[in-house]
């Protein structure tokens, strides 16, 4: 898995279009029907997480990342040191599935996304990751898997941290 964490003072996601990338709305199951509706979610202080999933990702990566992110100390304490976690500041998470984190730009001018997880697997893992964050005690707002989204955020600091479970040997 790859996660780009951005510490934010506020963030939101909006979906206005009913077009879902890679989703046949006529054959979508009942759980997907809400995806076709316009949507808005917003958070205050917290994290925007851009989440990419590979086919090899599963419970181990999900559990490790959720725990690490929920305990990461990147909010300032009274002395201005990054010493507080998202729990300490009553922060929230906005989680956005983003297969483009697996873009391969080594050849040509058009990125290849062949290393990104297959949609069904990626969606299951992303949703499991969000549930794992909730299990860690966090409030999690979500984008919509496969939707064209408009994300607005105010990166606070800026603080941006990259997690790549393959690079750390998970």
Catalytic (active-site) positions:
98-100
Q: In angstroms, what is the C-alpha Rg of the chain?
A: 16
Which SS3 state, helix, strand or coil, does residue 101 take? helix
Token pair 């939707």 is at which residue? 147
What distance in Å separates the CA atoms of residue 50 and residue 115, rounded to the nearest whole number?
A: 16
Q: Are 69 and 5 in contact (CB under 8 A)?
A: yes
């Amino acid at each position: 898995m790859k996660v780009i964490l951005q510490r934010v003072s506020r963030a939101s996601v909006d979906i206005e279009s009913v077009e879902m990338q890679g989703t046949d709305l006529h054959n979508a199951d009942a759980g997907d029907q809400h995806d076709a509706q316009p949507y808005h979610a917003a958070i205050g202080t917290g994290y925007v997480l851009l989440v990419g999933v590979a086919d090899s990702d599963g419970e181990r990566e999900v559990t490790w990342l959720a725990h690490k992110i929920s305990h990461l100390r990147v909010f300032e304490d009274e002395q201005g040191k990054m010493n507080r976690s998202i729990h300490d500041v009553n922060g929230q998470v906005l989680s956005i599935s983003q297969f483009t984190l697996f873009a391969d730009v080594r050849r040509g001018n058009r990125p290849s996304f062949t290393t990104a997880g297959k949609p069904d697997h990626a969606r299951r893992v992303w949703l499991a990751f969000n549930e794992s964050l909730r299990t860690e005690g966090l409030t999690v707002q979500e984008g919509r898997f496969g939707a064209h989204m408009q994300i607005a955020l105010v990166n606070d600091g800026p603080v941006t941290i990259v997690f790549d479970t393959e690079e750390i040997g998970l």
